[in-house]
A and B are shown apart, each in its own frame.
Chain A
Amino acid sequence: MDLTLPITVLGTILLIHLTFVNINIGLGFYSFILRWRSITNIEVVKPARKVFKFLVASEVVSGVYGTMITVALAGFWPTLVNIATIILFIPLIISIIGIITRLTSIAAYWYTWDKVQPKIHLSIGLIMALSGLAIPAGFRYIFAFIDNPVGLASLNPISGNIVEALMNPIYPPLLLHTWFGALSIGFLAAAAGLAWSSRKDKTIEKWSGYASLLGGLMIIPQGLTGFWFWSTLSFHSAYLFYSINISFLPTGHSLTNVSYTFLGMVLLAIAILTLGIIYYYQPSRKWIAYLLAPAAVASLILGEITHDIGRLPYMVILGETGIPMETFINKLLIIEPTLILSVIVTIIFFTIIFIALLYLYLVKGILEE
């Protein structure tokens, strides 16, 4: 089967999912921070509630596309999914626990607002925020595994050590990089939303600026962990390292060049850091906040393209080479390209409607209330 269409389907769904899931994680923390501040400052109650409602709305999108990823992956790359579910059994259980805790705590946080003592509510909020981190804590093992398949002993029959798989050296920097990135994107999304709200209520403006400062500053640990990730790749996933640096460093051979998307991501990150700090000091310049959120999403997309396209033509990297994508692609049947295309067009069309309406609903129903 031609690989372009399956990659397009998976890429589209994955990018939509990752965008909203990252926003969601960051919003969870900002909602918690604002709730904490609201105990001593009543002015913060309003933005804290707004950010939390924004979180609930973004949870819908990430949930819908999260379900779709599994189907797309298992349909187009069935053997890879089988390997992952066997070898990464424990990480996937971690994600499942994360999803359960996240859902439970979001609901509990909502019900108990103003119904229990603030400190108890705050504790629930902390669980809600932290549980968001548990979901990528499991799923990021899949990405670390395809960068460096630790724990896999044999492909036929599939066997390996599910505990050894937890020791993947790529995982810690990748996860930390993801966490800080998610916090940055979520804070900057909150900054944009609150900036819009502050057109009618000036008291919110300060908290928009505060979100932008935190979102901007998160770039620093994200950059440091990014550097750690980058250097780890040089040892454990050389091919991907070459793909990322091929235009700038005298590294080894790679068939794919993602160095410009990598550079774009780094430059955007620097811009976000700078603008985030500027907006904190000049929150009346709302255009900065409106710019920061899409810039953060663009940075995320460039980062994911760098990481995932950089592996091509391989699906799993083995040092300076890898296992080609064709190895894992579904060969059990001939899939008509028209079927693939018609579904992807439908998904894109209705996703645009979905996100546009959700945005309108957020703006009219939540942010302007």
Chain B
Amino acid sequence: METSRADLSGILHLSALGIYMHAVTVAIVIGFSVTLTIIELLGIWKKDTDLIKLAKQISLVIVIAFVFGAATGTLVEFGLIQVWNGVILAIGSFFFTPLYLELAAFTIEAALLVALLYTWDKFKNPWTHWTITFTYTLGALLSGALITSVNSWMQAPWGTGEIVRQIYPWAPVYGPTLVNTDFLLAVKEALVKTSVSLIGSGASLVNPEIIDTLVDSYGELLKDPWVSIINPYALTSVIHQLLATTIVGVFWIAGTLAYNGLRKREKRDYYLKLFKTVSLIGAILLIIQGIEGHEQGLMVYLYQPTKFAMISGLEKSGPYLPAGLTIFGDPNYVFKGFDYLIQAVENHPNPDLKIAGIPIKEIALRDTLNALEKLPIVKTLYEFKIGLAAIAIIISLMIISSFVFKRLWTGKEKILLYSGLAMFFIAPVMAGLGWAVREIGRKPWTVYGLLYPEELVTPNPIGVEVAITIIGGIIVGLIINLTTIYVVLRKPPKFLRIGEE
């Protein structure tokens, strides 16, 4: 029972596909919730029935996406746990608190979603309903924030102090040492041993006997269960990811309204009004994201040296204008490239240290070179993303200007609608590329500087039939989700019709 390198690559692609497909649902649930909250607020405030009607339609779409999200989420979750068994060790330690809190956030989300759907037009004071909507949205955002903090710990393993630096001399210090160093190093030792033995996957080692032995010898693995939440990388990532997800959702609504405005000439004014309101939300969020992107970049610079070198294309050390200007105010600031990282490894301060008999210098050099291999793909993806972001910012400024310079845009509304339609596609591609940079840039590790995918994968072989089942299921689920949304919006079934005027 061993997973080959080719299998591993396939499994990684399978997982990426699953996460991307699930992300569509997440974008709808989170992005639409924020839009719903703002649109309902504006509708009540301005007493605008068009906005209230739009809010009701959005709430219907959220319900459908949530139902499918809960079902396909189970699928993705089981798929992940079955395929990446080794992650269970992290679920029981570093991820315990965010995932456990997620149970509460998920229940709040589910309960308040039914509440907001059921209580449309049921309260005399419409602000009561809005309060439910607002609280539901907080639940959805909290849910997204907690999951992002889990991913962020894999990007920057906060609380591991100097452990990563002991292996990779170019690595930073990940906060105070809140993890049991002996325990973690013993796990790493065992995992490296399995990777060169016949057992294959390290997942087989996450068993009661080994855990008991380690706990008896060293004590608990983790001293602070809140470690992945207090991670500074997580704090920035949460804002960045939630903004990205929300922007996608907002522009999907705006794009749909723009499409209807272009197609139905007789109702263009109606759709244009709604489009402008929704797209203004997206435009403002996009500009905030541009500013926040700097913070995210700073975190990558501080905590992921290989990813920073990949993004900036620094095979050799040198200036990288955007980062030089924004971080140090100096366009000629020289950043460390892969040449520096490799040199740092070659001058390893602890060349005699070994893990499972393998010199850490050898491990560090191999991994740094593996990271360098990803530079072309990550740099290309990042540049493509930045190019799209520039277009998106221009479109956002156009949208904002249509509120400031109303006369200028009179008679040119179709340009705005076409731009909105373009954003329907640009926003998700941008977010998707951003996620790809985040994930591929982390390689060759699953947990940056600590664990590799092959140490966490299931010892069972993943056959084509399993892959097809999971991929097929996820794709079919997504198609059903989108078809249901389409059918429901075209002709709302009686039992889903809420507060019709």
Q: Which residues of A contact B (CB under 8 A)?
A: 9, 13, 53, 59-61, 63-64, 66-68, 70-72, 74-76, 78-79, 81-83, 85-86, 89, 92-93, 95-97, 99-100, 103-104, 107, 111, 155-159, 162, 323, 327-328, 330-336, 339-340, 342-343, 346-347, 350-351, 353-354, 357-358, 360-361, 365-366, 369
Q: A75-B100, A162-B460 are in contact. Are A365 and B81 (CB under 8 A)?
A: no
**Interface: B262 (CB within 8 A):** no
B150 to chain A, nearest CB (A): 11
Q: How far is the CB of B185 from chain A (nearest CB, A)?
A: 15
- Per CB-CB distance, the 4 closest pairs between chain A and chain B, nearest first, are A78-B92, A100-B473, A157-B204, A354-B111
Residues of B bordering A, CB below 8 Å: 1, 66-68, 70-75, 77-79, 81-82, 85, 88-89, 91-93, 96-97, 99-104, 106-108, 110-112, 114-115, 117-118, 194, 199, 203-212, 215, 220-223, 225, 458-460, 466, 469-470, 472-473, 476-477, 480, 483-484, 487, 494-495
- How far apart sit A365 and B221, CA to CA, in the bound complex (Å)? 51
B85 near A85 with CB under 8 A, answer: yes
Contact of A63 with B225 at beta-carbon distance under 8 Å, contacts A96-B78, A99-B473, A331-B220 already known: no
Q: Is the CB of B92 within 8 A of A64?
A: no
A331 and B77 CA atoms in complex are apart in Å by: 23
Chain B CB within 10 A, most for which of A100, A162, A357: A100
Q: What CA separation (Å) do A71 and B79 show in the bound complex?
A: 13
Which residues of B are found within 8 Å of A96, using beta-carbon distances? 75, 78-79, 469-470, 473
Whether the pair A354, B107 counts as a contact (CB closer than 8 A) is yes
Given contacts A63-B70, A103-B71, A346-B107, contact A78 B88 (CB under 8 A): yes
For the complex formed, measure the closest distance between the CB of A115 and the CB atoms of chain B, giving whole angstroms.
11
Residue among A93, A330, A332, A360 facing the most chain B CB atoms (10 A cut-off): A332
Contacting pair A99 B75 (CB below 8 A)? yes
CA of A83 to CA of B209 in the docked complex: distance in angstroms?
12
- Report whether A100 and B483 are in contact in the complex, using a CB–CB cutoff of 8 Å: no
Within the assembled complex, what's the spacing in Å between the Cα atoms of A182 and B369? 56
Task: Name B104's contact: one of A75, A103, A343 (CB within 8 Å).
Answer: A343
Per the bound structure, the CA–CA distance linking A330 and B466 in Å amounts to 30
Chain B min CB distance to A339 (Å): 7
B71 touches A63 (CB 8 A): yes
Closest-by-CB residue of A relative to B81 is: A85
Closest CB of chain A to B120's CB: distance in Å? 11
Q: Which residue of B lies closest to A74 (CB)?
A: B91
Counting residue pairs across A and B whose Cβ atoms lie within 8 Å, the total is: 222
Q: Is the CB of A327 within 8 A of B100?
A: no
Evaluate contact between B469 and A93: CB separation under 8 angstroms: yes
CB closest residue in chain A, given B481: A107
Quick one: given A71-B102, A96-B469, are A331 and B203 in contact (CB under 8 Å)?
no
Is A81 in contact with B81, judged by CB distance below 8 angstroms? yes
CA–CA, A323 to B209, complex, Å?
Answer: 12
Q: A339-B97, A351-B107 are in contact. Are A330 and B204 (CB under 8 A)?
A: no
Residues of chain A lying within 8 A (CB to CB) of residue B205: 156-158
Question: Across the two chains, which residue of chain B brings its CB closest to A345?
Answer: B104
State in angstroms the CA–CA spacing of A187 and B476 once bound together.
29
Ordered by A's residue number, 10 sampled pairs between the chains whose C-beta atoms are within 8 Å are A67-B77, A68-B103, A78-B88, A85-B85, A100-B469, A156-B205, A333-B223, A346-B107, A350-B112, A361-B117
With contact pairs A67-B106, A71-B103 given, residues A350 and B96 touching in the complex (Cβ less than 8 Å): no
CB <8 Å contact, A347 and B207: no
B108 surroundings in chain A (CB, below 8 A): 346, 350
Residue of B91, B104, B112, B459 near A347 (CB, 8 A) is B104
Known: A158-B204, A333-B221. A63 touches B74 (CB 8 A): yes
**Complex CA–CA separation, A340 to B104 (angstroms):** 10
Across the interface, which residues of A come within 8 angstroms of B66, CB to CB? 60
Extra inter-chain contacts (9) besides given A64-B106, A75-B92, A86-B203, CB under 8 Å: A13-B103, A70-B77, A99-B71, A157-B205, A327-B208, A350-B112, A357-B115, A365-B118, A366-B495
Task: Give Cα A237–Cα B459 distance, bound, in whole angstroms.
Answer: 28
User: What residues of chain B lie closer than 8 Å to A157, measured between beta carbons?
Assistant: 194, 199, 204-205, 207
- A6 CB to nearest B CB, Å: 10
Are B100's CB and A71's CB within 8 A?
Answer: yes
Query: Beyond A63-B74, A74-B91, A99-B473, is A155–B118 a contact (Cβ under 8 Å)?
Result: no
Q: What A residues does B118 contact at CB under 8 A?
A: 357, 360-361, 365
- Known contacts A67-B77, A86-B203; is A107 also within 8 Å of B473 by CB? no
Contact A155 B78 (CB under 8 A): no
Cβ of A107 and Cβ of B483 under 8 Å apart? yes
Q: Which residues from chain A contact B472 at a C-beta distance below 8 Å?
A: 100
Q: Kindly identify which residue among B67, B107, B110, B206 contacts A78, using a CB–CB cutoff of 8 Å.
A: B206
- The minimal Cβ–Cβ distance linking B86 to chain A, given in whole angstroms, is 8
Residues of B contacting A342 in the complex (Cβ-Cβ under 8 angstroms) = 104
Q: Which of A85, A330, A343 interacts with B92 by CB under 8 Å?
A: A330
Would you call A86 and B458 a contact (CB within 8 A)? yes
Bound Cα distance A5, B350 (Å): 45
Inside 8 A of B97's CB, which chain A residues have their CB?
339
Residue of B whose beta carbon sits closest to that of A78:
B92
Cα–Cα distance between A342 and B101 once the two chains are bound (Å): 9
Please give, as numbers and ranges, the residues of chain B lying within 8 Å of A86 by CB-CB distance.
85, 203-204, 458-460
Question: What separation, in Å, do the CA atoms of A350 and B107 have in the docked complex?
Answer: 6
| A107: nearest chain-B partner, CB-CB | B480
- Assess the B483–A350 pair: CB atoms within 8 A: no
Closest to A66 in B: B74
Q: Which residues of B contact A89 (CB under 8 A)?
A: 82, 458, 460
A60 touches B104 (CB 8 A): no
**CB within 8 A of A331: which of B85, B207, B215, B469?**
B215
Task: Say whether A103 contacts B211, CB under 8 Å.
Answer: no
Asked if A72 and B106 sit within 8 Å, CB to CB, the answer is no
Chain A, residue nearest B76 (CB): A67
Q: Which residues of B contact A357 (CB under 8 A)?
A: 111, 114-115, 118
* Cβ contacts under 8 Å, A335 to chain B: 96, 225
Bound CA span A9–B439, Å: 33
Residue of B nearest to A57 (CB): B495
| B204 CB to nearest A CB, Å | 4
Residue with the highest number of chain B CB atoms closer than 10 Å, among A340, A357, A369: A357
Q: Residue A74 contacts which of B92, B204, B473, B484 (CB distance < 8 angstroms)?
A: B92
* Least Cβ–Cβ distance between A275 and chain B, in angstroms: 29
Most chain A CB within a 10 A radius of its CB, from B1, B91, B102: B91
Query: Which residue of chain A has the shortest Cβ distance to B63 in the bound complex?
Result: A60
> How far does the alpha carbon of A71 sit from the alpha carbon of B74 in the complex, in Å?
10
Tell me the complex Cα distance, A142–B235, Å.
38
B110–A350 contact, CB under 8 A?
A: yes
The CA of A283 and the CA of B81, in the complex, are separated in Å by 48
**Which residues of A are found within 8 Å of B72, using beta-carbon distances?**
103
- The answer to whether B110 and A64 touch across the interface, beta carbons within 8 angstroms, is yes
CB distance from B464 to the nearest CB of A (A): 13
Find B469's partner among A72, A97, A162, A333 (CB 8 Å cutoff). A97
Whether A156 pairs with B103 at a CB distance below 8 angstroms is no
Min Cβ gap A94→B in Å is 10
Determine the residue in chain A with the shortest Cβ distance to B66.
Answer: A60
Measured between alpha carbons, how far is A357 from B117 in the docked complex, in Å?
Answer: 10
Q: Are A60 and B225 in contact (CB under 8 A)?
A: no
A352 CB to nearest chain B CB (Å): 8
Q: Which one of A9, A360, A361 has the greatest number of beta carbons of chain B within 10 Å? A: A361
The docked-state distance in angstroms from the alpha carbon of A9 to that of B71 is 21
Min CB–CB distance A226 → chain B (angstroms): 28
